[in-house]
Amino acid sequence: MSTVAVTGSASGIGAATATRLRDAGHRVIGVDLRSADVPADLAATEGRTAAVEGVLDRCDGVLDGLVACAGLGPHVDDVARIAQVNYFGTVAVIDGLFPALRKGTAAAAVVVSSVASTHLKWEENPLTEAIETGDESLIAEAVAAGGDYRGQFAYAAGKNALTVAVRRRAAEWGAAGVRLNTVAPGSVDTPLLAATAEDPRYGEAIRGFTAPIPRHGRPDEIAALACYLLGPDAGFVHGAQFVVDGGIDALLRPTVF
């Protein structure tokens, strides 16, 4: 039986992933704001520390897998918090648990990014300065150009930065024998999507846009891919991003891949 940590384990994709892993016989250490083995708020430095230390305490410093699902949507009014959780919090957790993963058996990690990560280029990412300096106080001003839609700007920029962070770690993690990949969901029926759909800024776009596969994804479909990427059949898959969006990215960017 392997031990896998799952952030965002209380709902949505994280909950579906934790359930699938448990059903397969794995031990799961859940991390979330509430209803989790390790309660922690990844928006704050102390919460990130609590998440890492809580997992390490429960796995005795040896971890076989990690699925980083915790995240906030563009509807959140505190736009800095969106990037703090989605980028800074996630990176702090994966880096903090890397030593434990190195001690695990055939260890692997999966980070949940988003198809929104493809909506801008890294060279145009407004969060670059905040990321390179580690100064999270710069986030709100950096995305202010988005106006009423600065939440979406912060969301896309944070997920873009997250995918870049994973790819930049491919060499070090691969040399250590720990695989690291991202999945990039499109619209998935989760509480996050439901809350965003109720927001007057984003609701109409969500309701009106139809993917080539004309429905939203299910959390268990994303969980299935995450679990595959943790397993032995994905042993040569590393540093990659898998878009799971019903064909939206192909529809919008058929020549860019």
DSSP H helical segments within 62-113, as ranges?
Answer: 79-83, 90-102
Contact status, residue 3 vs residue 27, Cβ threshold 8 Å: yes
User: Which residue is catalytic, options 149, 155, 202, 228?
Assistant: 155
- The set of long-range contacts for 39-48, using a CB threshold of 8 Å and a minimum separation of 24, is 42/7, 42/70, 42/84, 42/85, 42/88, 42/89, 42/90, 42/92, 42/93, 43/81, 43/84, 43/85, 43/89, 44/84, 45/92, 47/89, 48/88, 48/89, 48/92, 48/93, 48/96
Residue type, 165: A
The Cα–Cα gap between 168 and 153 comes to 22
To the query of whether residue 228 is one of the catalytic residues in this protein, the response is no
Paired residues of 29 in beta bridges: 5
Write the CB contacts of 102 (distance below 8 Å, at least 6 apart in sequence).
176, 177, 178
Q: What is the DSSP string of 125-147?
A: -TTHHHHHHT-GGGHHHHTGGGG
Residues annotated as catalytic are 155
